[in-house]
Structure 1
Amino acid sequence: MLANHILKFITYFCNKAESKVQELDYLAIVSDAKAREFVTKHYALIERNCRELLARMKRAEVPISHEFYLKLFQLSKPRLAADIILFDEGQDASEVMLDIFFKQPATKVIVGDTHQQIYGWRHAVNSLEKTDFQEQQLSTSFRFQAPIAQLATQVLAWKTKLGVGPQLTVTGAGKVTDGNTTRAIIGRTNLQLLLKAIEYVRQHRQQLRRVYFEGHIQSYTYADEGASLYDVLALYNG
């Protein structure tokens, strides 16, 4: 449990704009009652080990993460040699990315959609709410046709009534396809996707030659608290 909180603290720090671990309150992102009790009791130890592990990464004594070298880049106070910088997927920006972006002297543009934010669990923030930039709406899509656009507009209207995001009418300008269809499964968790994949493999095992997981199978086997399905398999096998 201690190691888990140390790693989560590192991820938290590497995604925030602050320059020192001590400037953050890790308890602010711990919601579970038992976890808060544990963190409160061992906070000094968690913070000290977090700083030590970050220092060891910087000294190249242990492997570094993608988040860590992005954090080092931010702390170096870079100046990008560009006249115009476009930040895409702005609804899922991390504070460390925005800190780099906003400090650039270039003309800045952010593209994003509040309704498509999916990385809040990774400490992402909606950059569209953190700027006073002039706003222009991109509401026509060539990826789908009118029926999907009408349904999307209805969903957005429903969300707006709940106070989530601005009202927007979507236009579908996509062309008719050749009639071939592709089915997709959308799940709220990786576990749901895995269960569907297993179900599909069992039903079509005679026809299937291989199964591919985007991002590799390891991306789908970890639970929220860091445990792995491989741990369950290992216990099952004794």
Structure 2
Amino acid sequence: MTDIARTINTQDWELAKDIVSTLNAFMASKDLELQEGHFVRFQNHRTLTSVQQQYMSKALNLTRDVWEKMVNIQDRSVSMTHDGYLKLYQMSQPDLSQRFGAILLDEGQDVNPVIANLVQIQKITQVTVGDRHQQLYRFRGAVDALNSPSMRDAEKHFLTQSFRFGPAVAYVANVILSFKGETIPLQGLGQPTLVKRALPDDLPHRTYLHRTVSGVIENALRLVNQNHRMQWIGGIDSYSLRDLEDLFYFSRAMNDQVQQRKLLTDYADYDQYVAIAKATQDPEMLRSIKIIENYPDLPQRIEQLRGASVTSELDATVTLSTAHRAKGLEWDFVGLYDDFSADPLSPDIDAGKRDDELNLLYVGVTRAMKILAVNSLVIDILQRFKDNRSVIASIA
């Protein structure tokens, strides 16, 4: 962002941020020209005031200037990014038929629009593989290429059998997907899988999946006192422990210990941070506040976490991950942590958000090969699917 601010000669960081987000939205889109629809800040506004329209026009013009500098190989003031290379290639509308007879797009349910367009403009045979119920990154602008207009007349084949787990896990997965309107059942043809409320204590290794990064940290702080060796999927440094430590110092007015200075500029004080968290009901912020309240010695606890961290599952007694990062992975014994706070069946939730949350639960429950421990939200969904106490009682 500092490069952008320097290029347009401004210290207006809000404007610089809007230019960065607009540029990223354009580079991720299928569009060949930068336009108003890429201005993220006002995307949910039905109408704009004159002041907002003028601000958007200014930001768009500056974004176009930045893009021109990026693509100009003689101008080094703004670096070209990997997303920029890809965008330029898509804008060239390449014809791949000169070299290839077919193209396969994997993970088609969660693709960047620019990649989807790059594939769909080809005249060669197209094969798109994916599971629409595993679309997890819609919040990043990912689209489901399986449901694009170009696939409307495509020949469709369904792979509905899994050898990872048995019928019990398949049943839970099918209940979750039923609330999305899925009618084709998933079959669990693997070894019998147990579904429980909690994992047994005597397991050699277990995996916990979480909705939020702060949920991972909260659970890790609980587990570290049980002398577990913990593997963090993606590495411990990718779980924002330093950010949480900064927030701890911020809550104590020890601002000289805060490394992330943006925290100090975004919030007047910790009270304002708490007020905004409560007003927005942001799950990451709220759980971070809870951790700080529960652990007055948090910096020392974080040092404990680092000391208990291992890089290989071979050395771990516990693996920790968010459900997003767990996609494509599998473990013998999996437990869902109770930080899946959004109720996907609430009448107040919009359809897109509902599907996002159901997809995440579906991915989570289908990671288990031997024992799945479901959380309270999944139990509630099972009960609402079949308002019958025997369903719950059958879960040991």
Calculate the TM-score normalised by the size of structure 2: 0.48
* 1:182 and 2:202 matched: no
The 3 A distance-change label for structure 1 pair 122 and 58 is same
Q: Which residues of 2 match residues 14-163 of structure 1 at below 5 A?
A: 14-22=27-35, 24=37, 26=39, 30-31=43-44, 39-59=52-72, 60-80=76-96, 81-130=99-148, 131-132=151-152, 133-160=154-181
The letter of the residue matching 2:39 is Y
Report the counterpart of residue 163 of structure 1 in structure 2.
none
Native 8 Å contact 2:36 2:60 kept in 1: no
Alpha-carbon offset, residue 126 of structure 1: 1.5
Q: How many residues align?
A: 221
Native 8 Å contact 2:112 2:143 kept in 1: yes
CA separation in 2, counterparts of 1:93 and 1:19? 18
Q: Match of 2:24, SS?
A: helix
Q: Match of 1:184, SS?
A: strand
Which structure exhibits the higher relative contact order, with contacts defined as CA atoms closer than 8 Å and separated by 6 or more residues? Answer: 2
CA separation in 2, counterparts of 1:126 and 1:185? 24
Any unmatched runs of 5+ in structure 1?
161-165, 222-227
The letter of the residue matching 1:129 is N
Q: Match of 1:21, SS?
A: coil
Task: Identify the match of residue 196 of structure 1 among 201, 216, 228.
Answer: 216
CA separation in 2, counterparts of 1:216 and 1:42? 41
Task: Identify the match of residue 184 of structure 2 among 157, 168, 173.
Answer: 168
The letter of the residue matching 1:66 is H
CA separation in 2, counterparts of 1:14 and 1:126? 18
Q: Identity rate of aligned residues, in percent?
A: 27
Q: Match of 1:156, SS?
A: helix
Q: Which moved more, 1:133-142 or 1:193-202?
A: 193-202
Calculate the TM-score normalised by the size of structure 1: 0.76
The structure with more radius of gyration: 2
The 3 A distance-change label for structure 1 pair 44 and 195 is same
Q: Match of 1:125, SS?
A: coil
Report the counterpart of residue 225 of structure 1 in structure 2.
none
